[in-house]
Protein backbone atom coordinates (compact mmCIF):
# COMPACT_ATOMS: atom_id res chain seq x y z
CA UNK A 1 0.00 0.00 0.00
CA UNK A 2 1.31 3.39 -0.97
CA UNK A 3 2.04 5.97 1.70
CA UNK A 4 -0.56 8.33 0.29
CA UNK A 5 -3.27 5.76 0.78
CA UNK A 6 -2.23 5.16 4.38
CA UNK A 7 -2.39 8.84 5.14
CA UNK A 8 -5.80 9.08 3.53
CA UNK A 9 -7.10 6.21 5.67
CA UNK A 10 -5.75 7.86 8.81
CA UNK A 11 -7.39 11.14 7.92
CA UNK A 12 -10.69 9.50 7.20
CA UNK A 13 -10.55 7.66 10.52
CA UNK A 14 -9.81 10.82 12.44
CA UNK A 15 -12.61 12.60 10.66
CA UNK A 16 -15.03 9.83 11.56
CA UNK A 17 -13.97 9.96 15.19
CA UNK A 18 -14.39 13.71 15.19
CA UNK A 19 -17.87 13.46 13.71
CA UNK A 20 -18.88 10.83 16.25
CA UNK A 21 -17.60 12.91 19.17
CA UNK A 22 -19.28 16.04 17.82
CA UNK A 23 -22.58 14.26 17.45
CA UNK A 24 -22.26 12.87 20.98
CA UNK A 25 -21.56 16.31 22.39
CA UNK A 26 -24.30 17.94 20.38
CA UNK A 27 -27.14 15.67 21.49
CA UNK A 28 -28.09 15.64 25.22
CA UNK A 29 -30.97 13.85 26.87
CA UNK A 30 -31.87 15.39 30.26
CA UNK A 31 -33.67 13.12 32.80
CA UNK A 32 -36.69 14.20 34.86
CA UNK A 33 -36.10 16.45 37.93
CA UNK A 34 -32.66 17.43 36.67
CA UNK A 35 -31.55 20.76 35.18
CA UNK A 36 -28.39 21.37 33.12
CA UNK A 37 -26.63 24.73 33.01
CA UNK A 38 -25.34 25.39 29.47
CA UNK A 39 -22.53 27.87 28.77
CA UNK A 40 -21.62 29.13 25.36
CA UNK A 41 -18.08 30.28 24.95
CA UNK A 42 -17.75 30.52 28.75
CA UNK A 43 -20.92 32.50 29.42
CA UNK A 44 -24.24 31.35 30.71
CA UNK A 45 -26.46 30.48 27.77
CA UNK A 46 -29.50 28.51 28.96
CA UNK A 47 -30.93 25.94 31.37
CA UNK A 48 -32.01 22.65 29.93
CA UNK A 49 -34.74 20.68 31.72
CA UNK A 50 -36.04 17.17 31.08
CA UNK A 51 -36.10 16.13 27.42
CA UNK A 52 -33.94 15.98 24.25
CA UNK A 53 -31.65 18.94 23.57
CA UNK A 54 -29.03 19.81 20.93
CA UNK A 55 -25.81 21.74 21.51
CA UNK A 56 -23.26 23.27 19.21
CA UNK A 57 -20.20 21.10 19.46
CA UNK A 58 -17.12 22.76 20.86
CA UNK A 59 -19.10 25.97 21.40
CA UNK A 60 -21.69 25.01 24.02
CA UNK A 61 -20.81 23.00 27.10
CA UNK A 62 -22.67 21.84 30.17
CA UNK A 63 -21.44 23.62 33.29
CA UNK A 64 -23.29 21.62 35.96
CA UNK A 65 -26.29 19.44 36.60
CA UNK A 66 -28.67 20.39 39.43
CA UNK A 67 -31.05 17.99 41.20
CA UNK A 68 -34.46 19.63 41.50
CA UNK A 69 -35.89 17.15 44.02
CA UNK A 70 -36.29 17.97 47.72
CA UNK A 71 -33.15 17.02 49.55
CA UNK A 72 -32.56 16.00 53.17
CA UNK A 73 -29.27 16.82 54.83
CA UNK A 74 -28.39 15.78 58.38
CA UNK A 75 -25.65 17.81 60.02
CA UNK A 76 -23.38 16.41 62.76
CA UNK A 77 -23.96 17.43 66.42
CA UNK A 78 -23.01 20.99 67.14
CA UNK A 79 -22.07 22.27 70.63
CA UNK A 80 -24.28 25.17 71.64
CA UNK A 81 -24.17 27.21 74.87
CA UNK A 82 -27.46 28.13 76.54
CA UNK A 83 -28.20 31.28 78.51
CA UNK A 84 -27.50 29.45 81.80
CA UNK A 85 -23.99 28.50 80.57
CA UNK A 86 -24.65 24.86 79.80
CA UNK A 87 -23.18 23.23 76.69
CA UNK A 88 -25.64 21.06 74.78
CA UNK A 89 -25.12 19.09 71.57
CA UNK A 90 -27.82 19.55 68.95
CA UNK A 91 -28.34 17.50 65.79
CA UNK A 92 -30.28 19.20 63.00
CA UNK A 93 -31.97 17.99 59.84
CA UNK A 94 -32.65 20.35 56.91
CA UNK A 95 -35.23 19.77 54.17
CA UNK A 96 -34.59 22.04 51.15
CA UNK A 97 -35.24 22.21 47.40
CA UNK A 98 -33.50 24.03 44.53
CA UNK A 99 -35.94 26.33 42.81
CA UNK A 100 -33.46 28.27 40.59
CA UNK A 101 -30.64 26.13 39.15
CA UNK A 102 -28.83 29.17 37.71
CA UNK A 103 -28.68 30.95 41.10
CA UNK A 104 -27.69 27.75 42.88
CA UNK A 105 -24.80 27.40 40.42
CA UNK A 106 -23.52 30.95 40.14
CA UNK A 107 -24.53 32.62 43.45
CA UNK A 108 -22.74 30.21 45.77
CA UNK A 109 -19.95 27.73 45.26
CA UNK A 110 -21.40 24.97 47.51
CA UNK A 111 -24.90 25.61 48.74
CA UNK A 112 -24.94 22.54 51.05
CA UNK A 113 -21.92 23.80 53.00
CA UNK A 114 -23.45 27.26 53.08
CA UNK A 115 -26.72 25.90 54.50
CA UNK A 116 -24.82 23.92 57.15
CA UNK A 117 -22.78 26.87 58.36
CA UNK A 118 -25.81 29.15 58.31
CA UNK A 119 -27.76 26.61 60.34
CA UNK A 120 -25.02 26.38 62.99
CA UNK A 121 -24.72 30.14 63.44
CA UNK A 122 -28.48 30.67 63.53
CA UNK A 123 -28.92 27.80 66.01
CA UNK A 124 -26.35 29.30 68.36
CA UNK A 125 -28.07 32.68 68.23
CA UNK A 126 -31.47 31.16 68.99
CA UNK A 127 -30.31 28.77 71.74
CA UNK A 128 -28.11 31.42 73.33
CA UNK A 129 -31.22 33.37 74.37
CA UNK A 130 -32.85 30.36 76.10
CA UNK A 131 -32.03 28.34 79.18
CA UNK A 132 -31.84 24.55 79.24
CA UNK A 133 -35.44 23.97 80.24
CA UNK A 134 -36.74 26.26 77.49
CA UNK A 135 -34.43 24.57 74.98
CA UNK A 136 -35.80 21.15 75.85
CA UNK A 137 -39.43 22.25 75.76
CA UNK A 138 -39.43 24.74 72.86
CA UNK A 139 -38.49 22.67 69.86
CA UNK A 140 -41.30 23.98 67.71
CA UNK A 141 -40.30 27.57 68.46
CA UNK A 142 -36.63 26.84 67.61
CA UNK A 143 -37.60 25.07 64.38
CA UNK A 144 -39.75 28.01 63.30
CA UNK A 145 -37.01 30.56 63.96
CA UNK A 146 -34.38 28.49 62.14
CA UNK A 147 -36.62 27.97 59.14
CA UNK A 148 -37.40 31.69 58.87
CA UNK A 149 -33.72 32.76 58.99
CA UNK A 150 -32.55 30.04 56.58
CA UNK A 151 -35.34 30.68 54.10
CA UNK A 152 -34.51 34.38 53.95
CA UNK A 153 -30.77 33.75 53.57
CA UNK A 154 -31.02 30.99 50.98
CA UNK A 155 -33.64 32.72 48.85
CA UNK A 156 -31.03 34.52 46.76
CA UNK A 157 -29.25 31.19 46.25
CA UNK A 158 -32.29 29.80 44.49
CA UNK A 159 -33.01 27.42 47.39
CA UNK A 160 -36.21 27.07 49.43
CA UNK A 161 -35.89 25.64 52.95
CA UNK A 162 -39.05 23.64 53.59
CA UNK A 163 -38.42 22.36 57.10
CA UNK A 164 -35.88 22.38 59.90
CA UNK A 165 -35.95 19.75 62.66
CA UNK A 166 -33.90 19.28 65.81
CA UNK A 167 -33.09 15.59 65.80
CA UNK A 168 -31.50 15.43 69.25
CA UNK A 169 -30.66 17.74 72.14
CA UNK A 170 -28.09 16.16 74.46
CA UNK A 171 -27.25 18.01 77.70
CA UNK A 172 -24.09 17.16 79.66
CA UNK A 173 -23.92 13.87 81.57
CA UNK A 174 -23.96 15.59 84.97
CA UNK A 175 -27.04 17.56 83.99
CA UNK A 176 -28.72 14.41 82.72
CA UNK A 177 -28.11 12.72 86.10
CA UNK A 178 -29.58 15.69 87.95
CA UNK A 179 -32.58 15.75 85.64
CA UNK A 180 -33.15 12.03 86.17
CA UNK A 181 -33.02 12.48 89.95
CA UNK A 182 -35.43 15.39 89.71
CA UNK A 183 -37.85 13.43 87.57
CA UNK A 184 -37.58 10.42 89.90
CA UNK A 185 -38.34 12.63 92.89
CA UNK A 186 -41.28 14.17 91.03
CA UNK A 187 -42.66 10.74 90.16
CA UNK A 188 -42.23 9.60 93.78
CA UNK A 189 -44.07 12.70 94.97
CA UNK A 190 -46.93 12.11 92.55
CA UNK A 191 -47.09 8.44 93.55
CA UNK A 192 -47.23 9.41 97.25
CA UNK A 193 -49.98 11.94 96.54
CA UNK A 194 -51.99 9.40 94.56
CA UNK A 195 -51.52 6.81 97.32
CA UNK A 196 -52.64 9.29 99.97
CA UNK A 197 -55.64 10.24 97.88
CA UNK A 198 -56.53 6.58 97.48
CA UNK A 199 -56.21 5.93 101.23
CA UNK A 200 -58.28 9.04 101.95
CA UNK A 201 -61.05 7.98 99.58
CA UNK A 202 -60.96 4.46 100.99
CA UNK A 203 -61.28 5.71 104.56
CA UNK A 204 -64.07 8.08 103.58
CA UNK A 205 -65.99 5.31 101.84
CA UNK A 206 -65.39 2.95 104.77
CA UNK A 207 -66.59 5.54 107.28
CA UNK A 208 -69.59 6.32 105.12
CA UNK A 209 -70.42 2.62 104.91
CA UNK A 210 -70.07 2.18 108.67
CA UNK A 211 -72.24 5.24 109.22
CA UNK A 212 -74.97 3.97 106.96
CA UNK A 213 -74.68 0.50 108.52
CA UNK A 214 -75.00 1.95 112.04
CA UNK A 215 -77.98 4.07 110.98
CA UNK A 216 -79.72 1.11 109.38
CA UNK A 217 -78.92 -1.09 112.40
CA UNK A 218 -80.28 1.57 114.78
CA UNK A 219 -83.38 1.98 112.65
CA UNK A 220 -83.86 -1.80 112.65
CA UNK A 221 -83.45 -1.99 116.42
CA UNK A 222 -85.85 0.92 116.87
CA UNK A 223 -88.42 -0.72 114.62
CA UNK A 224 -87.94 -4.04 116.45
CA UNK A 225 -88.35 -2.32 119.83
CA UNK A 226 -91.47 -0.53 118.62
CA UNK A 227 -92.97 -3.72 117.24
CA UNK A 228 -92.02 -5.60 120.43
CA UNK A 229 -93.60 -2.91 122.59
CA UNK A 230 -96.69 -2.89 120.41
CA UNK A 231 -96.89 -6.69 120.68
CA UNK A 232 -96.49 -6.61 124.45
CA UNK A 233 -99.04 -3.82 124.67
CA UNK A 234 -101.51 -5.76 122.59
CA UNK A 235 -100.86 -8.92 124.65
CA UNK A 236 -101.39 -7.04 127.91
CA UNK A 237 -104.55 -5.43 126.62
CA UNK A 238 -105.82 -8.74 125.32
CA UNK A 239 -105.13 -10.46 128.66
CA UNK A 240 -106.67 -7.53 130.51
CA UNK A 241 -109.72 -7.65 128.30
CA UNK A 242 -109.98 -11.46 128.61
CA UNK A 243 -109.78 -11.27 132.42
CA UNK A 244 -112.53 -8.66 132.55
CA UNK A 245 -114.70 -10.54 130.11
CA UNK A 246 -114.12 -13.79 132.03
CA UNK A 247 -115.12 -12.02 135.27
CA UNK A 248 -112.33 -13.58 137.38
CA UNK A 249 -113.45 -14.18 140.99
CA UNK A 250 -111.29 -13.66 144.15
CA UNK A 251 -110.41 -17.35 144.23
CA UNK A 252 -108.46 -17.13 140.99
CA UNK A 253 -106.74 -13.91 142.08
CA UNK A 254 -105.83 -15.46 145.45
CA UNK A 255 -104.36 -18.50 143.71
CA UNK A 256 -102.21 -16.32 141.46
CA UNK A 257 -101.08 -14.31 144.49
CA UNK A 258 -100.03 -17.50 146.32
CA UNK A 259 -98.02 -18.61 143.28
CA UNK A 260 -96.17 -15.30 143.21
CA UNK A 261 -95.21 -15.18 146.89
CA UNK A 262 -92.65 -18.10 146.74
CA UNK A 263 -90.87 -16.35 143.86
CA UNK A 264 -90.57 -13.21 145.98
CA UNK A 265 -89.29 -15.25 148.92
CA UNK A 266 -86.56 -16.88 146.77
CA UNK A 267 -84.81 -13.51 146.29
CA UNK A 268 -81.57 -13.25 148.34
CA UNK A 269 -82.17 -9.57 149.12
CA UNK A 270 -85.65 -10.09 150.56
CA UNK A 271 -85.32 -9.65 154.30
CA UNK A 272 -88.53 -7.88 155.27
CA UNK A 273 -91.98 -7.64 153.72
CA UNK A 274 -94.65 -5.09 154.42
CA UNK A 275 -98.10 -6.20 153.41
CA UNK A 276 -100.25 -3.13 152.67
CA UNK A 277 -103.82 -2.85 153.89
CA UNK A 278 -105.04 -2.99 150.33
CA UNK A 279 -104.33 -6.74 150.39
CA UNK A 280 -106.97 -7.31 153.10
CA UNK A 281 -109.60 -8.10 150.55
CA UNK A 282 -107.21 -10.47 148.79
CA UNK A 283 -106.42 -12.25 152.07
CA UNK A 284 -110.11 -12.58 152.78
CA UNK A 285 -110.47 -14.11 149.36
CA UNK A 286 -107.63 -16.53 150.14
CA UNK A 287 -109.28 -17.48 153.41
CA UNK A 288 -112.60 -17.97 151.66
CA UNK A 289 -110.94 -20.06 148.99
CA UNK A 290 -109.58 -22.44 151.60
CA UNK A 291 -112.79 -22.57 153.65
CA UNK A 292 -111.68 -20.24 156.45
CA UNK A 293 -114.49 -17.77 155.81
CA UNK A 294 -117.15 -16.89 153.31
CA UNK A 295 -115.48 -14.70 150.69
CA UNK A 296 -117.68 -12.70 148.42
CA UNK A 297 -117.77 -14.02 144.92
CA UNK A 298 -117.64 -11.77 141.95
CA UNK A 299 -120.48 -13.14 139.88
CA UNK A 300 -123.84 -12.21 138.52
CA UNK A 301 -126.88 -11.15 140.46
CA UNK A 302 -128.29 -14.67 140.63
CA UNK A 303 -125.37 -15.85 142.91
CA UNK A 304 -123.58 -17.93 140.21
CA UNK A 305 -119.86 -17.08 139.95
CA UNK A 306 -117.93 -16.69 136.71
CA UNK A 307 -115.86 -19.79 137.43
CA UNK A 308 -118.97 -21.88 137.81
CA UNK A 309 -120.34 -20.48 134.56
CA UNK A 310 -117.09 -21.36 132.79
CA UNK A 311 -117.15 -24.90 134.21
CA UNK A 312 -120.79 -25.26 133.29
CA UNK A 313 -120.61 -23.64 129.85
CA UNK A 314 -116.97 -23.69 128.58
CA UNK A 315 -118.11 -23.28 125.00
CA UNK A 316 -119.75 -19.94 125.78
CA UNK A 317 -116.50 -18.53 127.17
CA UNK A 318 -114.52 -19.87 124.20
CA UNK A 319 -117.00 -18.26 121.83
CA UNK A 320 -116.56 -14.99 123.69
CA UNK A 321 -112.79 -15.14 123.35
CA UNK A 322 -113.09 -16.20 119.71
CA UNK A 323 -115.12 -13.14 118.86
CA UNK A 324 -112.69 -10.90 120.68
CA UNK A 325 -111.08 -8.26 118.48
CA UNK A 326 -108.35 -5.95 119.70
CA UNK A 327 -109.30 -2.33 119.70
CA UNK A 328 -107.08 0.54 118.65
CA UNK A 329 -103.86 0.69 120.79
CA UNK A 330 -104.19 4.44 121.40
CA UNK A 331 -107.74 4.11 122.63
CA UNK A 332 -106.84 1.10 124.75
CA UNK A 333 -103.89 3.00 126.24
CA UNK A 334 -106.11 5.92 127.21
CA UNK A 335 -108.58 3.53 128.84
CA UNK A 336 -105.73 1.78 130.71
CA UNK A 337 -104.37 5.12 131.95
CA UNK A 338 -107.86 6.09 133.16
CA UNK A 339 -108.22 2.79 134.98
CA UNK A 340 -104.77 3.19 136.57
CA UNK A 341 -105.66 6.68 137.79
CA UNK A 342 -108.91 5.38 139.26
CA UNK A 343 -107.11 2.53 141.08
CA UNK A 344 -104.51 4.96 142.41
CA UNK A 345 -107.25 7.25 143.70
CA UNK A 346 -109.02 4.36 145.39
CA UNK A 347 -105.74 3.17 146.95
CA UNK A 348 -105.05 6.63 148.32
CA UNK A 349 -108.57 6.77 149.77
CA UNK A 350 -108.16 3.30 151.33
CA UNK A 351 -104.84 4.26 152.88
CA UNK A 352 -106.28 7.44 154.33
CA UNK A 353 -109.27 5.55 155.85
CA UNK A 354 -107.01 2.91 157.41
CA UNK A 355 -104.84 5.56 159.04
CA UNK A 356 -101.66 4.67 157.11
CA UNK A 357 -100.09 7.02 154.59
CA UNK A 358 -100.14 5.93 150.98
CA UNK A 359 -96.76 4.72 149.71
CA UNK A 360 -96.55 4.67 145.89
CA UNK A 361 -93.56 2.30 145.95
CA UNK A 362 -95.47 -0.21 148.04
CA UNK A 363 -98.51 0.13 145.81
CA UNK A 364 -96.30 -0.47 142.76
CA UNK A 365 -94.98 -3.70 144.26
CA UNK A 366 -91.48 -2.36 145.28
CA UNK A 367 -89.78 -3.31 148.55
CA UNK A 368 -89.22 -0.51 151.03
CA UNK A 369 -85.78 0.35 152.33
CA UNK A 370 -84.57 -1.51 155.39
CA UNK A 371 -84.26 0.33 158.64
CA UNK A 372 -81.21 0.13 160.79
CA UNK A 373 -82.90 -1.97 163.45
CA UNK A 374 -84.42 -4.33 160.92
CA UNK A 375 -81.09 -4.97 159.24
CA UNK A 376 -79.68 -6.33 162.46
CA UNK A 377 -82.52 -8.76 163.07
CA UNK A 378 -82.92 -9.74 159.49
CA UNK A 379 -86.57 -8.50 159.29
CA UNK A 380 -89.79 -10.39 159.68
CA UNK A 381 -91.66 -12.37 157.14
CA UNK A 382 -95.37 -12.16 156.55
CA UNK A 383 -97.62 -14.92 157.71
CA UNK A 384 -99.63 -16.97 155.27
CA UNK A 385 -102.77 -19.01 155.81
CA UNK A 386 -102.21 -22.71 156.07
CA UNK A 387 -101.91 -24.56 152.81
CA UNK A 388 -104.88 -26.91 152.34
Kindly state whether residue 384 falls inside one of the protein's structural domains: no
Model pLDDT for residues 251-280, shown as the tens digit of each residue: 666 666 667 767 766 666 656 655 554 455
Residues in the chain: 388
**Same domain flag for 81 and 153:** yes
Exposed e or buried b per residue across 189-220, where buried means at least 16 C-beta atoms within 10 angstroms of its C-beta: eeeeeeeeeeeeeeeeeeeeeeeeeeeeeeee
In a domain, 147, yes or no: yes
Say if residue 342 is in the same domain as residue 283.
yes
- Residue 300 in any domain: the answer is yes
CA 125 to chain centre: 50
Shared domain for 191 and 276, answered yes or no, is no
Please enumerate in sequence order all residues whose Cβ is within 8 A of that of 60, keeping only pairs 6 or more positions apart, or say none.
38, 39, 40, 45
Higher-confidence position of 219 and 322? 219
Residues 312 and 257 in one domain: yes
Other residues' Cβ atoms within 10 Å of the Cβ of residue 142: 22
Number of domains in the chain: 4
Residue 387, domain member (yes or no) = no
User: Is 251 found in the same domain as 361?
Assistant: yes
Distance CA 78, CA 90 (A): 5
- 167: CATH: 3.30.479.30
User: Are 62 and 79 members of one domain?
Assistant: no
The per-residue pLDDT for 141 is 87
137 and 151: one domain?
A: yes
Give domain status of residue 184, yes or no.
Answer: yes
User: Is there a domain that residue 128 lies in?
Assistant: yes
Of 219-223, 287-291, 354-358, the range with the highest mean pLDDT is 219-223
Query: What's the domain range around 211?
Result: 180-240
Q: Do residues 256 and 365 both lie within one domain?
A: yes
Examine the domain organization and report whether 279 and 339 are in the same domain. yes
Mean pLDDT of 334-356: 61
Q: What is the end-to-end Cα distance of the chain in Å, rounded?
A: 187
Region 178-190: mean pLDDT is 86
Residues 31 and 86 in one domain: no
What's the pLDDT score for residue 194? 93
Q: Phi then psi for 279, rounded to 5 degrees?
A: -85, 5
Domain end, chosen from 171, 204, 220, is at 171
Residue 388 within a domain:
no
List, in order, residues 6 or more apart from 272 with CB less than 8 Å away. 367, 368, 370, 374, 378, 379, 380, 381
CA dihedral of residues 95, 99, 101, 105 (deg, nearest 10): -50
- Say how far apart CA 158 and CA 107 lie, in whole Å: 8
CB 34 within 8 A of CB 101: no
Mean pLDDT of 101-106: 91
Q: Are residues 63 and 7 in the same domain?
A: yes
Given a cut of 80, is residue 176 above it in pLDDT? no
Of 13, 36, 67, the last residue of a domain is 67
Whether 386 is in a domain gets the answer: no
DSSP 8-57: HHHHHHHHHHHHHHHHHHHEEEEPTTEEEEEEETTEEEEEE-SEEEE--T
Contact 250, 285 (CB under 8 A): yes
Q: Which of 240, 264, 282 is the last residue of a domain?
A: 240
- On the 0-12 / 13-18 / 19+ scale of CB atoms within 10 A, 371 is exposed
The answer to whether 123 and 148 are in contact (CB under 8 A) is no
Q: Is the pLDDT of residue 246 over 90?
A: no
Checking DSSP bridges between strand 159-170 and strand 87-98, what pairing results, if any? antiparallel
Q: For residue 98, name the pLDDT band (cuts at 50, 70, 90).
A: very high
Q: Say yes or no: 54 and 16 in one domain.
A: yes
Amino acid sequence: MEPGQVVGIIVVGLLAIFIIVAIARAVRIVPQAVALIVERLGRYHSTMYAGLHFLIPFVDRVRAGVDLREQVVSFPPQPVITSDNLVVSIDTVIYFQVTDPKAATYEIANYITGIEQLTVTTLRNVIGSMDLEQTLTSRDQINGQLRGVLDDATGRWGIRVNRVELKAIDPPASVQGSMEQQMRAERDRRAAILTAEGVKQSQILTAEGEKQSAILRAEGQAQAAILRAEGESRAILQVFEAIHRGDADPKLLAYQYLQTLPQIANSASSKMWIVPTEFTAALQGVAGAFGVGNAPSGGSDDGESATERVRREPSAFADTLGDFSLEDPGEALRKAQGAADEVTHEAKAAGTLSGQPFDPSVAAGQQPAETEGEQGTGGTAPTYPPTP
